[in-house]
Amino acid sequence: MAISMDTPLTRVLGPKTAKVMAEQLALHTVRDLLRHYPRRYAQRGEMTRLDGLEVGDRVTVLAQVKNVSTRRMQQRRGTLTEVTVGDGAGSMRLVFFNNRHAHLDVGEWGLFAGTVGLWRGEKQFTHPDCHIITGGDDDWARALVPLYPASKDVSSWVIQKSVKLLLDDPRSLEQMLDDPLPAPVRERHGLVDLPTALRYKHRPESQEQVDEADERLKWDEALVLQATLAARRRAAALEPGIARPRSSGGLLDAVDAALPFSLTDGQREVGEELAAELAREQPMNRLLQGEVGSGKTVVALRAMAQVVDAGGQAALLAPTEVLAAQHARSLAGILGPLGRAGELDGDPAGTRVVLLTGSQKAAVRREARAAVADGSAGIVVGTHALLQEGVEFADLGLVVVDEQHRFGVEQRDALRAKGNRPPHVLVMTATPIPRTVAMTVYGDLETSTLRQLPAGRGGVSSSVVPAGEKPAWLDRAWARVREEVAAGRQAYVVCPRIGDLEDGSSKADEGPDGEDGAPPEEKGAGSDRRPPLAVLDVAEALRAGPLSALRVEVLHGRMPPEEKEARMRAFAAAEVDVLVATTVVEVGVDVPNATVMVVMDADRFGVSQLHQLRGRVARGRHPGLCLLVSEVSSSSATGQRLASVAATTDGFQLARLDLETRREGDVLGAAQSGRRSGVRLLSLLDDEQLIAEARVEATALVEHGRGLADHPELAAAVAAMSLDERADYLEKA
């Protein structure tokens, strides 16, 4: 029987082991197991981990048996065996009832796995798994003992033994493994081959071997990822779209004439870049990143107008209903009669702007869909509802995705697929993103950046309000809100939760499209904390207390869409002084007269969320004020994170801080788009250089000769990854 990377583990391991590995660790194939890397390595003689254990940790420790004593229990029948083990730095107790333990002798070394418990102030394992390291067992005589991520019934050494079985297989790794890294790439970058890397990773003789393995295995991840993206770019470039060249006397000129301001240099430059690309047959695939408030919407609108002038349709995909409605409203406002073709007061030379969202009434939606299908709606604004089946475009020429961090690659593709030929695509992201993220998550897009903010902005200053340590500061915060309102301005108060009149247990704020109030990116400190503050409660308290003289209203994702829309309109029209809201206002909402943003329980929000929220009050000529209210201690890590957010408005710096505080997997993987990225070792923070080099290599491989066809092993790895992505997507759909 030949084994390959795809051989099921059931064919190489015992049935019981294979079953629990599949169930508990999702390891199904030889590849899964070989790519299940040790978390760290225990070093004999210097394993000093015992003093660093925390109660509740599930761990494997390497230690020596110091003492064994068995006695009858007094309260109960049976015996109790206490074993003390030590590792030089600390010691702990192992407890076994009724001799249910491997025979342990003083002086023996062993691996012990269990959950750290506490008994009479001392740490202990109850019935740990024990593996005594015998003298003849060469596995354990090694300098470095690999410790694997384990589960309840699959201990680290079961994994180690299973891996050893594969590594020692006489059929040899060399035959079984197809090395995805072409030899010239390995040579150029001084990388070991795959069998060597796997042996070094799983059974290293020195730290240097581990390092060599890591470097090489990171390259695998980076190259496969970059080759996937390069292949996407190439495929997109080869499939012709439709040229939408600029023409005069149409919508675009009307938009330019209607703008109440002149474009910034950056807007003009990016605008020209887009205009030129839209005029080509090769579809544009571009990422527009720009600081919050840098004026991306206008850039997009001008591109959309150009496409409509050229006879195509443009779709704008927004992450929330509030934002979609706002975009539709402001586009219609700028276009005036040109946006109402077909209506009584409309200009027949113009087009129609339609809104399409999930919570619209069926009749409204039917009508909108019809206008999209017959082409009378040149500009279509919507939420995820746009992606649904049954939404057919007459001639989709441009897709604009606003605030991309809420959408995944697949959703972009789903919309792209609605064109008769591939449409041009413009993705806009408000959070400036680190270069590594640009090269990975958005690696199939070209990038433009708006660095400059429109002139005449008042700027925004931020402070942390430590409500726990200095309650008087909170009073002062509400006084500031009163002062701003007295000066004619408006304020937002944002809370992490809606609150629930019925059962008091609502947590995340999820609208009909699952759109608003993404839960905070980080978990709170623990479940012992009080529940996060809620919009409904805070609004009530403000009305009854410090803001009783002001017009205070609420906005959240559970309100019916018409009400949300009406509330937002009233706020925009300055009929409401203070809007108490969830993160529905996080992205894109644009009310330039609002100057104060009070974020309650600010520690419950992620860095980029806070930066987004703050962006809501830096939009006009009046100076903005952002107050981050939190009860966490200002010296805690979370408190310092808040202080950093308050200290800088540099989006690029904050994006990096954000990356540091989030699990990287979230950036590359599931949370971003619901796809598995196959990234285990690669770090977006530390491996910028490597990723950039891999990008160069991948682009060259894909573009030279017959492309990936010349590199079947790499092509197979790329295909495997795309399949994974697709499978995940289908599961979700």
Minimal distance, residue 430 CB to Mg ion, in Å: 6
What does 692-705 look like in DSSP terms, one character per residue?
A: HHHHHHHHHHHHST
Contacted entry of ligand ADP, Mg ion, none for residue 293, CB cut-off 5 to 8 Å set by kind = ligand ADP
Cβ distance 308 to 251 under 8 Å? Answer: yes
Check binding of 318 to ligand ADP (CB under 6 A). Answer: no
Contacted entry of ligand ADP, Mg ion, none for residue 290, CB cut-off 5 to 8 Å set by kind = ligand ADP
Minimal distance, residue 586 CB to ligand ADP, in Å: 11
Considering just the CA atoms, what is the radius of gyration of the chain in Å? Answer: 30
What does 613-628 look like in DSSP terms, one character per residue?
A: HHHTTSSSSSPEEEEE
Residue (621 or 663) nearer to ligand ADP, CB: 621
Binding-residue total with ligand ADP (CB under 6 A): 19
Q: How far apart are CA 619 and CA 330, in angstroms?
A: 15
Phi, psi of 38 (to 5 degrees): -55, 145
Piece of 171-179, 296-304, 317-325, 493-501 that binds ligand ADP (CB under 6 A)? 296-304
> What contacts 290, CB < 8 A, 6 or more positions away?
266, 296, 428, 430, 432, 449, 450, 451
Residue (235 or 258) nearer to ligand ADP, CB: 258
Minimal distance, residue 293 CB to ligand ADP, in Å: 5
Residue (586 or 631) nearer to Mg ion, CB: 586
Check binding of 290 to ligand ADP (CB under 6 A). Answer: yes
> What contacts 380, CB < 8 A, 6 or more positions away?
313, 314, 315, 316, 353, 354, 356, 368, 372, 386, 393
Query: Interface residues for ligand ADP in 441-470 (CB under 6 A)?
Result: 454
> Looking at 297, 313, 506, 677, which residue binds ligand ADP (CB under 6 A)?
297
Q: How far apart are CA 145 and CA 317, in angstroms?
A: 51
**And the tokens for 660?**
């540091």
Give me the residues that bind Mg ion (CB under 5 A), please. Answer: 588
Piece of 23-31, 176-184, 285-293, 667-675 that binds ligand ADP (CB under 6 A)? 285-293
> What contacts 173, CB < 8 A, 6 or more positions away?
166, 167, 194, 195, 198, 199
Cβ distance 432 to 656 under 8 Å? Answer: no
Residue (114 or 588) nearer to Mg ion, CB: 588
Closest CA to 87 of 56, 57, 44: 44
Closest CA to 58 of 179, 132, 189, 148: 148
What burial letters (b/e) apply to 111-128, b meaning 16+ CB within 10 Å?
bbbbebeeeeeebbbeeb
Contacted entry of Mg ion, ligand ADP, none for residue 422, CB cut-off 5 to 8 Å set by kind = none
> Looking at 17, 294, 429, 436, which residue binds ligand ADP (CB under 6 A)?
294
Residue (405 or 480) nearer to Mg ion, CB: 405
Query: Interface residues for ligand ADP in 584-603 (CB under 6 A)?
Result: 588, 590, 592
Determine the Cα angle at 594 with ends 588 and 597, to 5°. Answer: 80
Q: How far apart are CA 343 and CA 339, in angstroms?
A: 9
Query: Interface residues for ligand ADP in 549-588 (CB under 6 A)?
Result: 588
> Looking at 180, 271, 295, 561, which residue binds ligand ADP (CB under 6 A)?
295
Contacted entry of ligand ADP, Mg ion, none for residue 261, CB cut-off 5 to 8 Å set by kind = ligand ADP
Alpha-carbon torsion, ordered 277, 302, 236, 733, to 10 deg: 170
Binding mask 240-279 for ligand ADP (x = CB under 6 A): ---------------------x-xx--x------------
Cβ distance 34 to 5 under 8 Å? Answer: yes
Contacted entry of Mg ion, ligand ADP, none for residue 411, CB cut-off 5 to 8 Å set by kind = none
Residue (263 or 647) nearer to Mg ion, CB: 263
Helix (H, G, I), strand (E, B) or coil at 150: coil
Cβ distance 337 to 345 under 8 Å? Answer: yes
Query: Interface residues for ligand ADP in 611-670 (CB under 6 A)?
Result: 615, 619
Residue (155 or 297) nearer to Mg ion, CB: 297
Residue (62 or 618) nearer to Mg ion, CB: 618
Contacted entry of Mg ion, ligand ADP, none for residue 3, CB cut-off 5 to 8 Å set by kind = none
Minimal distance, residue 437 CB to ligand ADP, in Å: 18
Contacted entry of ligand ADP, Mg ion, none for residue 619, CB cut-off 5 to 8 Å set by kind = ligand ADP
According to DSSP, the β-strands at 109-115 and 91-97 are unpaired
Contacted entry of Mg ion, ligand ADP, none for residue 397, CB cut-off 5 to 8 Å set by kind = none
Residue with smallest beta-carbon separation from ligand ADP: 295
Q: Where does this chain bind ligand ADP (CB under 6 A)?
A: 261, 263-264, 267, 290, 292-298, 430, 454, 588, 590, 592, 615, 619
